[in-house]
Amino acid sequence: MTLHARPPRPGPGRPKDPEKRQAVLDAAKRLFPQFGFDGVSMEAIAAEAGVSKLTVYSHFGDKDALFTETIRAKCEEMLPPALFLAAPKGSIRRQLATIARAFFALVTSPEAIGMHRVMSSQLAADSRLPQMFWEAGPKRVQDGFADFLRAKVAAGQLDIDDVQRASSQFFCLLKGEAHARLSCGCVVELDPREVDAHLKATVDLFLRAYGAAGGPRA
């Protein structure tokens, strides 16, 4: 019997260039908040990124996938998952304050305010855009913080019956009046001292509501 060598398996194809991928993401972060989902074409993103349209499709598949990844990447850039790792010996107040500041910086950034205005504009009743945005951004952030809270409850530092609700409450409190005024154009810049006071008051309120007996509440 004659043995024939197996033909070599085809290679994985030409590796994708991570720098071009990042250039596309950066371009999408600039264009989607400015012009909205429907106002931005893949051709426009390719031109802004300095790559071919084929490169954009090669990395992201379609505009839905690119939009979703743009939201996810922006959230992880300003609220990295490591922020939600509950340090067992760390101060709960300090960790909450760090998360609060990062989240507030995210939701009051020009890109986030622009995207909020896009999401608040008139959309078709059957638009899939709000759900895509919610799952790629806010839901991921709330779920990550909920995991942080569960760890703190297990460690006896917090006393929370409904962790998902508490997670939502914390972020809604943080957005507060400042986010609403930025979104409707009443202000274009926030007073850093007012921001500091707002973040501290929010963390204080959250700890008064959910701090475990004997833990920090004020």
pLDDT in tens, 31-57: 999 888 889 999 999 999 999 999 999
**What residue spans define the domains of the chain?**
18-73, 79-210
Give CA–CA dist 10/15, Å, rounded.
14
CATH of 79-210 among 3.40.50.2300, 1.10.357.10, 3.40.50.261, 2.40.240.10: 1.10.357.10
The Cα 27–Cα 48 span in angstroms is 6
pLDDT value at residue 216: 53
Residues 6 or more apart whose Cβ sits within 8 Å of residue 207: 92, 93, 96, 215, 216, 217, 218
Distance CA 164, CA 142 (A): 8
- Report the CATH number of the 18-73 domain: 1.10.10.60
pTM of the model: 0.83
Instruction: Provide the pLDDT for residue 122.
Output: 58
pLDDT at residue 138, as a whole number: 93
What residues in the chain have per-residue pLDDT under 70?
Answer: 1-16, 88-89, 122-126, 214-218
Q: Which of 162, 174, 167 is nearest to 84 (CA)?
A: 167
User: Taking Cα atoms as reference points, which of 212, 75, 82 lies closest to residue 153?
Assistant: 212
Best CA proximity match to 46, nearest among 60, 65, 33: 60
Q: Environment class of residue 162 by beta-carbon count within 10 Å: exposed (0-12), middle (13-18) or buried (19+)? A: exposed
Find the angle CA(24)-CA(29)-CA(30) to the nearest 5 degrees. 100
As given in the structure block, the two tokens for residue 40 are 């931005």
